[in-house]
Chain A
Amino acid sequence: MRSAIVQAADNQGVRPASSARTEFLAGVRETAPLIVGAIPFGIVYGTLAGTTGLSLMSIVAMSALVFAGSAQFIAVGLLLAAGMNWPLIVLITLVVNLRHIFYGAALAPHLRFLPLRWQIPLAFWLTDETFAVVSNRYNRTGDPLQLRWHYLGSAIFAYASWQILTVLGVTAGQLVPRVASWGLDFAMPVTFIALLIPHLKNSPMVASALVSGGVVLLAAPLPHKLDLLVATLAGAGAGIVVETLLTRKDG
């Protein structure tokens, strides 16, 4: 795979359009604005986590080793509501994070030629944000051999931000009165709206979003983000159907 790409590039007499450094910085640059939404999210998370009775070290370790904002949020909610029932929380974490299987599947065709020393850290750093930013980059043109640096740039920026925000939330978050009641939970949807817009550039993509949005409302009674999985599958299916219909019409 790897050599085939290099050979194809050689045959066409093209030099790699982008260097590792340029791609890495592009990954950082495209992920950086998300910090605007991540700051309120991180502060609310850290504040809540601080009230569970977990030590600062445990909270920091969870962010460092799990690195999954929404699953951590749900875990903290369960700790507050039901106490330390760790098998239940681990099970729910798995269900909430099932969407990462889809993300992995969508990115895997681009990354399958990478050695394990790349795949393992890149998989560990896979998040909603990095998935949205990186898959948008992969759908534009780019040198396949250098695109891993884009992913790495996005991932390292997101990881470092989450660690810093967790600590800030646990320490400084306690000083802000009633921070959880400020409606800071809007930070999450507004971030995803900003991530969505670059993807809406042709009718199959728009169809995917519309169908997914409709299905998620119908599937809302399903627990633990299973509605999210059903809607995502329906949306992606709608995308390929519209793409096929358009190709037929053109052909």
Chain B
Amino acid sequence: METLYLIAGMALVTFIARYLMFGVARYVAFPRRLVRTLRYMPPAVLTAIIVPAVLMPAGQAVSLSYSNAYLVGGLAAFCVGWLSRNIWLTLPLGLLAFWGWQWLVGI
């Protein structure tokens, strides 16, 4: 029974967060300046997810060391993506760089 509450509760709060602004926009037109500001959200939110994941892989302290495979893999993925503009190359090569570096610094 508690599992049911858990799943139903998670589903409900997640849907509310996702639908809320769609619903608001049915009745209220957003000010033009707000709409223009919202266009800058995708790079902001993606960077805010990426930066801690590659700079603080252990969770607490920033690691700028060469032994941080997350940072090296992230930089490699960024360079491949920037130069190739091809997501099919960026993901596999980024993962390979990460695993390769992890293996290199591990020995």
Binding site for B on A (CB under 8 A): 33-34, 36-37, 40, 54-55, 58, 61-62, 65-68, 71-72, 75, 84, 86-87, 89-90, 93-94, 97-109, 111-112, 119-120, 122-124, 126, 128, 131-132, 135-136, 139, 183, 185-200, 204-206, 208-213, 215-217, 220, 227-228, 231-240, 243
Contact = CB atoms under 8 A, between A and B. Distances in A.
Given A183-B99, A209-B43, A217-B55, A66 B7 contact: yes
Nearest to A207: B40
Given A190-B91, A194-B90, 11 more contacts: A36-B91, A61-B7, A67-B14, A86-B5, A123-B15, A123-B22, A135-B42, A189-B54, A190-B98, A196-B47, A208-B40
A84 B3 CA distance: 8
B33 A240 contact: yes
Contact of A128 (B6, B49, B77): B49
Say whether chain A's binding surface is mostly helix, strand, loop, or mixed.
helix
B70 to A, nearest CB: 6
B104 interface: no
Say whether chain B's binding surface is mostly helix, strand, loop, or mixed.
helix
A104 B43 contact: no
B94 to A, nearest CB: 4
Interface in B12-71: 12-26, 29-30, 33-57, 62, 69-70
A208 B46 CA distance: 10
A195 B44 CA distance: 12
A132 B43 CA distance: 8
Given A235-B40, A236-B37, A209 B18 contact: no
A235 B69 CA distance: 26
A108 B50 contact: no
A40 B5 CA distance: 29
B79 to A, nearest CB: 10
Contacts of A36: 88, 91-92, 95
A90 B10 contact: yes
B44 A101 contact: no
Given A108-B24, A123-B22, A227-B48, A236 B40 contact: yes
